[in-house]
Amino acid sequence: MSTTPYEVDFYRWAAETARALREGRIADLDLAHIAEEIEDMGKGERRELVSRLAVLLAHLVKWVRQPEQHGNSWRATIEEQRAEVLDLIADGPSLRPVLEERLADAYAKAVRIAVRDTGFDPTAFPPECPFTVNDALNRDLWPS
């Protein structure tokens, strides 16, 4: 079984690949692994977007469910996650549809987070996401 530089030392492979690209040495490029890495980068961006949306939704449903717990920490988390999601979309506008496509998945994760954080039963939270993507990202929305 042969091993490639990609499999033996990824960091070295990446540095050598970048150098070959800059120098225009196309014949020296490991195109299959370059394509794989580019696809993985896109998947990573999508995962981060959905993860941040889930954290945002978790704090929003906790905000609604536990008004007596409102505090600077929750407000800061909501504001930060909104900003991070909006930054990801600004950097990659084609990610915007992912928010709609994955809203239900992000909400399911959000409920798991909220259950863990509050100790409430999952039925304490709405079965479907009570927020649209636009509502969740609206910096002026503080649901009651």
Is the pLDDT at 87 greater than 90, yes or no? yes
Question: Once rounded to an integer, what is the mean pLDDT over residues 109-135?
Answer: 96
- Which pLDDT value is given to residue 39? 78
HSE, side-chain direction, 13 A CA sphere, residue 126: 13
Distance CA 7, CA 11 (A): 10
How would you class 46 by CB atoms within 10 Å of its CB: exposed for 0-12, middle for 13-18, buried for 19 or more? Answer: middle
Is the pLDDT at 127 greater than 70, yes or no? yes
Give 34 or 107, the one with higher predicted confidence.
107
Confidence band (pLDDT; 50, 70, 90) for 2?
A: low
The Cα angle at residue 19 between residues 16 and 21, in degrees rounded to 5: 110
Helix ranges, the chain (H): 5-8, 10-22, 31-65, 72-91, 96-101, 103-118, 133-137
Question: Once rounded to an integer, what is the mean pLDDT over residues 129-138?
Answer: 96
Confidence band (pLDDT; 50, 70, 90) for 1?
A: low
Is the pLDDT at 106 greater than 90, yes or no? yes
Give 10 or 19, the one with higher predicted confidence.
19
Question: Once rounded to an integer, what is the mean pLDDT over residues 35-44?
Answer: 80
- Which pLDDT value is given to residue 62? 95
Question: Once rounded to an integer, what is the mean pLDDT over residues 99-111?
Answer: 96
